[in-house]
């Protein structure tokens, strides 16, 4: 049986390696050269300057895909945080989508319709980038959007300039066929290879191969790469919780061992102590015997006590009996887990309340109001990282749509993101309520801010008309009651609630 800690260490050796292996000797100060930012960040000697400037390290997509589903050994519980981290990040950052502001309203509306129709795909594009490190969106010839799994995509770069991306090669491996779809600036090539289908041990062979070539009519690559936290000399991104692997492993250990301890504490251990003759007491209280073989191979009959079958115990001289259990430790474990959770929240930039956790009186006086400004700045920074890819997506989509339908060309446009403050419903509602109580908002403005109806002005007029009608009906009812009481010779005297006695 492999120890839990050893199992996790074995997994970590399989987890993504982000540094170049090798032994470096001490470097004299005068021989240091400028640092390369990325996954090869080590000052190096001019004698070993063979290190590449460009970092082509790809995340282990399979590992990062299994982690959020609790399928990675040693991270079965700790890894479950990954799914929600990527979801919160994408949901708040992308919100209800985005729009554009150009000099043509028809174009703006077309893009808004695209975002509404493809919002689920766009959200997956952003989530996959956060959780896997890379995601790829393809603008199809009919203007629809589809995604390619990042482990099937190869970036084709200029040999002399790694920042110049020439195309993307997407390889789809099926049971008895392989489809290679290559998008380049000068065209697109689709190759269908029929294979023997015996991929085990690498014995698969190509039987036939056929290629089809298409012109690139838009002059742009229809594949949009969205890397997460990519450094300047890297081709690929990083999962947003890459640095939290150790924390996830520790979290998993604490919660697993705490659960084991609680199970033990739920089954107290019977203890008989102070006995002069323990063997005699065991024999007297036994309910059955079992055959046990010793090291010499000799069988012995030993007494066994099933306590659920006993109504009382017989103890020898000096003996006492009790049920014992370990000292409680759940509170200590909970405090450790809370510490890990706050460290995770601090690293990801996602405040505690965004997880749906109660924060009143929490660490550092946590509150929605106090944390919201910092969270908004974080989200704006995340949007800035995404903006380039989003603008490229809009440009490619507009160019593709112009091939199949009339659509005006726009020189420049601006991405319009949803207002982040309005995404926090609790905080926004409190602001509106306070302004309304202070008499600073009209009914129409209040309705518009709450976004409850399509036409706030018409709704206010309808509400006023309804209130006037109800008041007229109430006045008519009171007048009728007064007349009835007068006819009966009673003097109408209204009470505090407007009723007459």
- HSE toward the beta carbon, residue 237, CA cutoff 13 A: 22
pTM over 0.85: no
Could you tell me the two tokens for 260? 């084991």
Element (DSSP H or E) covering residue 38: none
Interval 152-182: pLDDT, tens: 999 999 988 888 999 999 999 888 889 999 9
98 band by pLDDT with thresholds 50, 70 and 90: very high
**Average pLDDT of the chain, as a whole number:** 78
When mean pLDDT is compared over 9-23, 202-216, 248-262, 365-379, the highest value belongs to 202-216
Bridge partners of 158, per DSSP, are 161
Contact status, residue 281 vs residue 319, Cβ threshold 8 Å: yes
Contact status, residue 233 vs residue 53, Cβ threshold 8 Å: yes
- The predicted pLDDT at position 187 comes to 94
11 has pLDDT over 60 = no
CA distance 154 to 306: 65
CA distance 180 to 172: 6
How do strand 206-214 and strand 99-101 relate by DSSP bridges?
A: unpaired
CA distance 428 to 444: 17
Positive or negative, the Cα torsion across 445, 446, 450, 454? Answer: negative
Angle, helices 368-401 vs 105-117, to 10°: value is: 110
- The predicted pLDDT at position 12 comes to 41
Interval 406-444: pLDDT, tens: 888 888 899 998 887 655 555 566 667 767 777 777 887
């Amino acid at each position: 049986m492999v120890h839990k800690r050893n199992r996790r260490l074995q997994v970590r050796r399989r987890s993504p390696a982000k540094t170049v292996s090798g032994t470096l000797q001490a470097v004299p100060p005068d021989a240091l050269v400028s640092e390369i930012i990325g996954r090869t960040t080590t000052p190096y000697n001019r004698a070993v300057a063979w290190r590449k400037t460009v970092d082509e390290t790809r995340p282990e997509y399979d590992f990062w895909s299994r982690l959020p589903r609790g399928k990675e050994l040693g991270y079965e519980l700790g890894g479950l945080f990954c799914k929600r981290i990527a979801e919160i990040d994408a949901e708040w950052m992308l919100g209800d989508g985005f729009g554009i502001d150009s000099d043509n309203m028809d174009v703006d509306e077309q893009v808004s319709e695209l975002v509404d129709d493809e919002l689920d795909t766009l959200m997956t594009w952003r989530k996959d980038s956060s959780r896997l490190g890379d995601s790829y969106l393809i603008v199809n010839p009919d203007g629809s959007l589809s995604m390619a799994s990042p482990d099937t995509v190869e970036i084709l770069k200029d040999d002399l300039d790694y920042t110049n991306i020439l195309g993307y090669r997407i390889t789809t491996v099926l049971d008895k066929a392989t489809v290679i779809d290559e998008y380049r600036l000068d065209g697109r090539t689709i190759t269908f290879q029929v294979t023997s289908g015996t991929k085990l041990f690498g014995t698969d062979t190509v039987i036939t191969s056929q290629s089809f070539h298409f012109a690139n009519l838009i002059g742009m690559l229809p594949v949009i790469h969205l890397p997460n936290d990519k450094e300047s000399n890297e081709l690929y991104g990083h999962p947003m919780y890459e640095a939290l692997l150790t924390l996830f492993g520790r979290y998993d250990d604490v919660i697993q061992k705490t659960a084991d301890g609680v199970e033990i504490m739920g089954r107290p251990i019977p203890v008989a102590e102070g006995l002069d003759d323990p063997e005699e007491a065991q024999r007297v209280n036994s309910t059955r015997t079992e055959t046990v073989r010793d090291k010499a191979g000799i069988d012995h009959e030993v007494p066994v006590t099933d306590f659920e079958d006993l109504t009382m115990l017989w103890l020898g001289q000096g003996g006492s009996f009790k049920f014992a259990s370990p000292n409680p430790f759940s509170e200590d474990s909970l405090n450790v887990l809370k510490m890990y959770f706050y460290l995770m929240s601090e690293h990801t930039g996602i405040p505690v309340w965004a997880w749906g956790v109660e924060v009143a009186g929490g660490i550092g006086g946590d509150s929605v109001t106090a944390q919201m400004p910092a969270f908004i700045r974080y989200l704006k920074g995340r949007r800035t990282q995404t903006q380039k890819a989003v603008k490229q997506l809009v440009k490619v989509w507009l160019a593709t749509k112009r091939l199949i339908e009339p659509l005006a060309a726009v020189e420049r446009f601006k991405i319009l993101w949803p207002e982040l403050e309005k995404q926090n419903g609790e905080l926004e509602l409190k602001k509106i309520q306070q302004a309304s109580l202070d008499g600073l908002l009209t009914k129409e403005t209040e309705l518009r801010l709450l976004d409850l109806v399509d036409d706030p002005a018409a709704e206010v007029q309808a509400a006023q008309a309804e209130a006037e009608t109800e008041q007229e009906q109430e006045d008519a009812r009171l007048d009728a009651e007064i007349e009835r009481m007068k006819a009966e010779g009673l003097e109408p005297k209204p009470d505090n609630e407007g009723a007459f006695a």
